[in-house]
Amino acid sequence: MDNNQKNPSPLYSPRSPGGATPHQWEPPMEERPFWRRFLSVMVKLTLAFSLLGAAVGGVVGYTFYVKYSKDLPDIESLRYYKPSLVTRIYDTNDQLAAEYFVERRILLPLDAIPVLLRQTTIAVEDTSFYEHFGLNIEGILRAAWANYRAGRVVQGGSSITQQLAKVLLLSSERTYVRKIREAILSIRIDRAYTKEEILEIYLNHIYYGEGAYGVEAAAQTYFAKSVQDLNVAEVAMIVGMPKAPSTNSPYSNLGKAVERRGHVLNRMMVTNVITKEQMEEALSSPIKLAPRKGPLNKSPWFSEHVRRILEKKFSAHGLYREGLTVRTTLDLRWQKWAEEAVRSGLEDADRRLGYRGPAGYVDIEKGRRPDFAALNPERAEFDEPHEYYTPGRILTGVTLKAENDMAMVDLGETKGAISVKSMSWAHPFNPDVDARWAKKVSKTSDVLKPGDIIQVRILEEDPLPGEEPGQTLLPLELYQNPDVQGALMSIDPKTGHVKAMIGGYDAETDKFNRAVQAYRQPGSSFKPIIYTAALTKGYTPASVVIDSPIIFNRAITEFKGWKPMNFEQKFYGPTTLRTAITHSRNIV
């Protein structure tokens, strides 16, 4: 035996045929150290269990997929996305008169939505939106860990696609089954649609609070401007809304809204959407909100009549969800003039009967004050006093003192004054005495006393000097809501078009439209036509007609011997035309 056979090379195994297979030589298993044998077994077991776990996981995953993907909504509906839209009613000059909707939404294509708002939404809601396959796995795990540590839900991990699947195709129930179905749908949506299509639908569909759906409606609701005109701070405010629209509403919880805006601005800076300088500038900028408003309706009487016609023709679904564009014969200028004329006429007619007295009393001599927030609840809808205390606004206040020429009124955060001249009509209420012939009020103390809770209206006059240096008082007049009602319909005689419609004194508190819903006596309704004909024949309001019995024997056969009567079943003798039409005398 030669030396090579006695000392084989460590580079070749003696068990390899010919000794020609190169590898590191290892001693037999039984000759290896225990720790190496143990490690080898553990590696093999780990590999085996990993493969087994993957296989089991695959089977379980497939089972879940098959089970929960049954009866899922068809994502093809997103291709024909048609959300609930706003029906708009326009006047004859293309001025928007009213809106009707379930969800106030104004659709915009993605390229009409500013890049800043798109980037901010992604930075806040789904940073890896353009990288993942519909599910943000990292976000889900991060949220799960945060919620586990907190012992409650403090963070969400849903991607933009998942949120869209939930609001468009699923319910909002909080169950694991719904989350599984949501995940399956999200993956399908991500495969079927581009990221741009998903983002466009999301930004148009999500709820932003205060009845606004989509970013354009949100911009108009909170800031009374288009989404293209929003600054950095306003974009941050809007993007922060969807997480908790009610909690984060700047109208009801300004502190929370500012806190949420700060979080969004920080995310914008961290993700390089804005610079640190821009963030600091936005953080220090004041929040300038638009006045809180309900649905737009500049012509409530006319628009409500049109609404009933539309609902009958197109159904409630068509009216409130299909986004109809309705052009009408209404002229908003005429409508404004008609409203002013009716309100002024009814107030004058009501004042002729006198003042019905204060609405209540509070003992101010004992230091008591009413709850002004409850007396004037609409004040909460305005941030600044000067936005609220405007000419024409009707307020409820408390009389502080009433002297000869002036009465001072406490309105809570400011004060006002009523001159005796503006309340000359306020004699004690008497329906049998016309104020034009009643004794005029000569001093305010004849009508008011300290502590009276009264209604007043702000006049369009310069502020009055107060008792203290630099103090000013709002110019006010005594007001009472008329008991008498009226209506007006203005029709173009050439076309028959209805240009204006008023159904009562106040459409906010009274929905009965007397212009089209009230029943009228045809005879009395026709009397103005008869009187007009008399005037064209030479009669005047002072012309006298004898109110006495009369019998018609030459009338149509079935009415022979007809004897008209006045409502009071009596006759009044010589009567002027003015008196006759005022009291609707049938005989005249």
Residue 392 is part of a domain; what is its CATH number?
2.40.50.140
52 and 107 co-located in one domain: no
Task: Indicate which residue of 40, 128, 524, 584 is catalytic.
Answer: 524
Produce one character per residue of 519-542: b if its CB has 16 or more CB atoms within 10 Å, e if not.
eeeeeeeebeeebeebeeeeeeee
Task: Identify the residue whose tokens are 């701070």.
Answer: 233
Q: What is the pLDDT of residues 184-242, one digit of tens each?
A: 788 888 888 899 999 999 999 999 999 999 999 999 999 999 999 999 999 999 999 99
252 and 171 co-located in one domain: yes
431 and 475 co-located in one domain: yes
Pairwise CA distance, residues 471 & 499, whole Å: 46
The pLDDT of 73-80, averaged and rounded, is 72
Residue 236 resides in a domain:
yes
Per-residue pLDDT band at 4 (split at 50, 70, 90): very low
Please indicate whether residue 279 or residue 9 has the higher confidence score (pLDDT): 279
Residue 300 resides in a domain:
no
The pLDDT of 155-161, averaged and rounded, is 75
Task: Identify the residue whose tokens are 């409850």.
Answer: 374
Q: Is 339 a catalytic residue?
A: no
362 and 424 co-located in one domain: yes
128 and 241 co-located in one domain: yes
Full residue range of the structural domain in which residue 145 is found: 102-284
Per-residue pLDDT band at 453 (split at 50, 70, 90): very high
Within the chain, what is the greatest distance between any pair of CA atoms?
162
191 and 278 co-located in one domain: yes
42 and 109 co-located in one domain: no
- Asked if the model's pLDDT at residue 55 lies above 70, the reply is no
Which of 224, 205, 233 lies closest to 108, judged by CA?
205
- Give, in order, the Cα–Cα distances in Å from 35 to each of 38, 41, 65, 348, 541: 5, 10, 43, 107, 124
Q: Which of 284, 314, 342 is the last residue of a domain?
A: 284
Residue 492 resides in a domain:
no
Beta bridge partners of 100: 87
Q: What is the pLDDT of residues 457-499, one digit of tens each?
A: 999 888 888 777 878 889 999 999 999 899 999 999 999 999 9
Please indicate whether residue 4 or residue 319 has the higher confidence score (pLDDT): 319
Residue 468 resides in a domain:
yes
- Asked if the model's pLDDT at residue 143 lies above 70, the reply is no
Which of 329, 312, 343, 313 lies closest to 503, judged by CA?
343
Q: Which of 284, 302, 327 is the last residue of a domain?
A: 284
Per-residue pLDDT band at 552 (split at 50, 70, 90): confident
- Asked if the model's pLDDT at residue 557 lies above 90, the reply is no
21 and 150 co-located in one domain: no
- Asked if the model's pLDDT at residue 112 lies above 90, the reply is yes
Residue 90 resides in a domain:
no
Beta bridge partners of 417: 408, 475
pLDDT for position 16? 45
Pairwise CA distance, residues 434 & 430, whole Å: 8
Produce one character per residue of 184-201: b if its CB has 16 or more CB atoms within 10 Å, e if not.
bbbbbbbeebeeeebbbb
The pLDDT of 163-181, averaged and rounded, is 70
Which of 491, 479, 477, 483 lies closest to 510, judged by CA?
483
- Asked if the model's pLDDT at residue 270 lies above 70, the reply is yes
Q: What is the pLDDT of residues 385-426, one digit of tens each?
A: 888 889 999 999 999 999 888 999 999 889 999 999 888 888
Rg over alpha carbons for the chain, rounded to the nearest Å, is 40
163 and 229 co-located in one domain: yes
pLDDT for position 25? 53
563 and 475 co-located in one domain: no
Beta bridge partners of 545: 575
Flag the least confident range among 92-96, 431-435, 577-581: 431-435
- Asked if the model's pLDDT at residue 27 lies above 70, the reply is no
Q: Is 16 a catalytic residue?
A: no
Whether residue 490 contacts residue 498, with contact meaning beta carbons closer than 8 Å, is answered with: yes
229 and 364 co-located in one domain: no
Q: Highest mean pLDDT range out of 60-64, 545-549, 558-562?
A: 545-549
pLDDT for position 279? 95
The bridge status of strand 452-458 relative to strand 472-479 is antiparallel
Residue 36 resides in a domain:
yes
Flag the least confident range among 6-15, 200-209, 437-446, 528-537: 6-15
Per-residue pLDDT band at 150 (split at 50, 70, 90): low
Pairwise CA distance, residues 215 & 228, whole Å: 10
Looking at the structure of the chain, the number of domains it has is: 4
Q: Which of 427, 461, 479 is the last residue of a domain?
A: 479
Q: What is the mean pLDDT of the chain?
A: 83
CATH of the domain at 144: 1.10.3810.10
Whether residue 187 contacts residue 135, with contact meaning beta carbons closer than 8 Å, is answered with: yes
Whether residue 262 contacts residue 196, with contact meaning beta carbons closer than 8 Å, is answered with: no
Please indicate whether residue 268 or residue 363 has the higher confidence score (pLDDT): 268
Residue 11 resides in a domain:
yes
132 and 61 co-located in one domain: no
pLDDT for position 5? 46
Chain centroid to CA 68: how far? Answer: 38
Residue 16 resides in a domain:
yes
Inter-axis angle of helices 215-223 and 232-239, nearest 10: 120
- pTM here is 0.71
Flag the least confident range among 42-46, 93-97, 110-114: 42-46
pLDDT for position 176? 63
Give long-range contacts, CB 8 A cutoff, 24+ apart: 543-547. 543/576, 543/577, 544/574, 544/575, 544/576, 545/574, 545/575, 545/576, 545/577, 545/580, 545/588, 546/573, 546/574, 546/575, 547/571, 547/572, 547/573, 547/574, 547/575, 547/580, 547/585, 547/587, 547/588
